[in-house]
Amino acid sequence: MNPYASHLEGRDSQELVSETPGRLTDLVQRLGPDGLQRSSAPGKWTVSQILCHLADTEIAFAFRLRQALAEPRHVIQPFDQDAWGRGYSKLNGRAALDTFVALRHWNIALLSGLAPDDFSKAVTHPERGDMTFRTLVETMAGHDLNHLRQLETLAEQPA
């Protein structure tokens, strides 16, 4: 089961993945420099930390996509987002956004050049079981939407 699939609401995952860099950039501009330190509650990630998480996740997706295409029945390496996130408070959210946007454009270029059969390629996730390459792309899109909704909520809060 893909926990992020419910976020897609029937929309095309590749289109959603392609829209995210622009949507994120617009949100960060709306928030402004001070808005990067907003969080939904004490102890929750700030906007800046969410951007760092998105950059790190895009690094992971870039590797997963390429390994899934290169190997038969690739086994995805999970990661502990909380462990990865321990240093996010010391990093620059704008730099994370720039990193995410660059990596995402590179991943979009990869996805755009694939044959339809590539999306049926089998992969395995140790925690989620058997899936397809398409599921990886759907996971990217659902993950994007989840965090975009969080950021939109934070952007709507008064300064």
Report the range of poorest mean pLDDT among 1-5, 24-28, 129-133. Answer: 1-5
Backbone φ/ψ region at 32: left (φ over 0), alpha (ψ -120 to 50), beta: left
pLDDT at 1: 57
Q: What is the pLDDT of residues 1-17, one digit of tens each?
A: 577 777 888 899 999 99
Element (H, E) at 116: none
Which residue, 33, 38, 121, is CA-closest to 72? 121
Tokens of 62: 């870039």
Can you give the length of the chain in residues?
159
Mean pLDDT throughout 34-53? 95
Residue 77's Cβ-count burial label (10 Å; 0-12, 13-18, 19+) is exposed
Domain span holding position 148: 5-156
Number of domains in the chain: 1
Amino acid found at 33: P
**What SS3 state is found at 142?**
helix
pTM of the predicted protein model: 0.94
DSSP assignment string, 67-97: HHHHSTTEEP----HHHHGGGGGGS-HHHHH
pLDDT averaged over every residue in the chain: 94
Query: CATH number, domain at 141?
Result: 1.20.120.450
Q: What is the pLDDT of residues 52-87, one digit of tens each?
A: 999 999 999 999 999 999 999 999 999 999 999 999
Q: What is the pLDDT of residues 87-122, one digit of tens each?
A: 999 999 999 999 999 999 999 999 999 999 999 999
